[in-house]
Amino acid sequence: MLRVVIIEDEKPAARRLQRMLAKEDILVHTMLYSVTEAIAWFREHPAPDLIFADIQLSDGTSFDIFEQVPVQSAIIFTTAYDQYAIRAFKLNSIDYLLKPVKPDDLRFALDKFHNNTNKEIDIQQLISNIKNNNSYKKRFGVQYGAHLQSIPVEEIAYFYSQDKTTWLVTYSGEEFMYDQSLEKVEKQLNPEYFFRINRQFILSSKAIKDIVQYTNSRLKIILHPVTQTDVVVARERVKDFKNWLGL
């Protein structure tokens, strides 16, 4: 019997994929929900025949798993990465499924798995391809009224969330509603230039005008353009924030 493992930090998504595989007469052997859990499991169990792995997990990426634990298994990645990363998958003959996974796409990937005699993958080469092809967004499309506009990432000062709405703010002070959560936006930004300081703000290093000591060892950020509310680095993010800025 085919041994299948799902690595997915969103349990509803994992269960949905499990149900879709059941309709293809494939039973899932194990479901793993984090990098830490997956590394521990693979160290104690033989490699399965097939792995479905989400790329972005709550405590890292699935690449972190395969860099620490060599796994001789076929892997089908589930991903929301853009066309540059997808091109890297194709170059390395890696199967991928764009979220939300569609039944026809799943069947196609399974057919490729069954017909592929060489199921070993080169994780290091895959990571290199993705880095070289740059999987981060270079432009963000926004809409205001009947108008559409594409904003280069270099012009974006910060993103913030208010009343369950995400806003994009440019250095010129323009604000645009952006139809994605901060969680999704964060995954599309290069962490070399953008940092999520709390649940409400993701900011560019160039947007920081001043940093002031705040209560309880926290830091208050003065941004340009200015904001109407205090922008404070969450206590648990202060150390990483300082490291990001080289402080």
pTM of full prediction above 0.75: no
* Under 8 Å between Cβ of 78 and 8: yes
Joined tokens for residue 211: 């940093």
Average pLDDT over residues 138-154: 90
| Same-domain pairing of 68 and 164 | no
| Same-domain pairing of 23 and 68 | yes
Give the model's pLDDT for residue 135. 63
pLDDT tens, 74-100? Answer: 888 887 655 545 554 654 446 778 777
pLDDT exceeds 90 at position 137: no
Task: Kindly report the number of other CB atoms within 10 A of residue 130's CB atom.
Answer: 22
| Same-domain pairing of 149 and 62 | no
pLDDT tens, 167-213? Answer: 999 999 999 999 899 999 998 898 878 999 999 999 999 999 999 98
Residues 161, 162, 164, 168, CA torsion sign: negative
| Same-domain pairing of 128 and 146 | no
Q: In which element (H, E) is residue 233 found?
A: strand 231-233
Rounded Cα–Cα distance for residues 20 and 233 (Å): 41
Distance of CA 56 to CAs 89, 150, 187, 198, Å? 15, 26, 8, 19
Of 105, 133, 161, the last residue of a domain is 133
Q: What is the mean pLDDT of the chain?
A: 85
| Same-domain pairing of 93 and 111 | yes
| Same-domain pairing of 239 and 159 | yes
Task: Phi first, then psi: give them for residue 236, nearest 5 degrees.
Answer: -75, -10
